[in-house]
Amino acid sequence: MSQAYEKVLKARDLKRISTIDIIENLTDWFIELHGDRHMEDDKSIIGGIGMYDGQPITIIGIQKGRTTRENIERNFGSVGPGGYRKAIRLVEQANKFNRPILTLINTAGAHASPESEETGIGEAIAQSLLTFAKVEVPTLSIILGEGGSGGALALALTDEVWMLENSVYSILSPEGFASILWKDAKLASKAADVMKLTASDLHELKVVEKIIPEINHGVPLNRDVILKRTINDIKAKFKELSQLDVDTRLANRNKRFRSF
């Protein structure tokens, strides 16, 4: 098994740090908001308003379950049109009230089903990208586990994108890549090497700005240590981004994605 595919398996671990973990450790209080005001409340997206150190913040995160029952309720972290429209609503609200936006990503990809197609999954993802591109408040994305395809990118058009060390970010799964390229999903380990989907690969390619360590000298770091460092880094980054004027922040964001 390749080292890259080992990272894929670690990224899929149901016990990984989740959106709920970040919310509980970052905010003094948090109010979850529900529904897209159009068709449904997609529970794979947790979104709402919180407060930390006297600073209001909007948090939007993709949440997988840790049991079969939770995964069914959360649709295994695969977001449908209603979830992205809920995110868009919260982004627009945050922009109106001048709240920074944190997005937290862990998804194999958007919900691929006839129902999603019928209710506009492509349009919802496109509208999410457009909304994030124009928003004037500071924005930050963190990939906690899997960052799969447009389902992840829809929430990651932000001022900076970070990854946990054992997370992955790619155009599709290694299994899907192997099936398309070599007609054999069993070659997923080989595909993972080719795809350059690990945090170190993407940091080297300047697709992400920061890797959050999960290992120290070959030893996995304590979960609480990772959370504490992540929370401190989030606070520091939003303080830094808030000191930039809107025009500079938008120009930097535009330049960031055009450089790809």
> What is the domain-level CATH number for residue 126?
3.90.226.10
Q: Smallest Cα–Cα separation from 56: which of 83, 33, 30?
A: 30
Domain membership flag for residue 123: yes
Q: Is 90 exceeded by the pLDDT of residue 141?
A: yes
Domain membership flag for residue 34: yes
Domain membership flag for residue 52: yes
Domain membership flag for residue 84: yes
Q: What is the pLDDT of residue 155?
A: 97
Domain membership flag for residue 178: no
Tens of pLDDT, residues 188-247: 999 999 999 999 999 999 999 999 999 988 888 999 999 999 999 999 999 999 999 999
Tens of pLDDT, residues 42-51: 899 999 999 9
Angle subtended by helix axes 223-242 and 19-26, to nearest 10: 70
Q: How many domains does the structure of the chain reveal? A: 1
Domain membership flag for residue 98: yes
Q: Are 44 and 65 in contact (CB under 8 A)?
A: no
Q: Are strands 55-62 and 101-107 parallel, antiparallel or unpaired?
A: parallel
Tens of pLDDT, residues 83-96: 999 999 999 999 99
Angle subtended by helix axes 3-11 and 188-195, to nearest 10: 100
Domain membership flag for residue 260: no
In sequence order, the β-bridge partners of residue 160 are 140
Q: Are strands 55-62 and 139-148 parallel, antiparallel or unpaired?
A: unpaired
Q: Which domain holds residue 152?
A: 15-171+194-255
Q: Is 90 exceeded by the pLDDT of residue 104?
A: yes
Q: What is the pLDDT of residue 234?
A: 98
Q: Compute CA 147 distance to the chain's CA centroid, rounded to the nearest angstrom.
A: 6
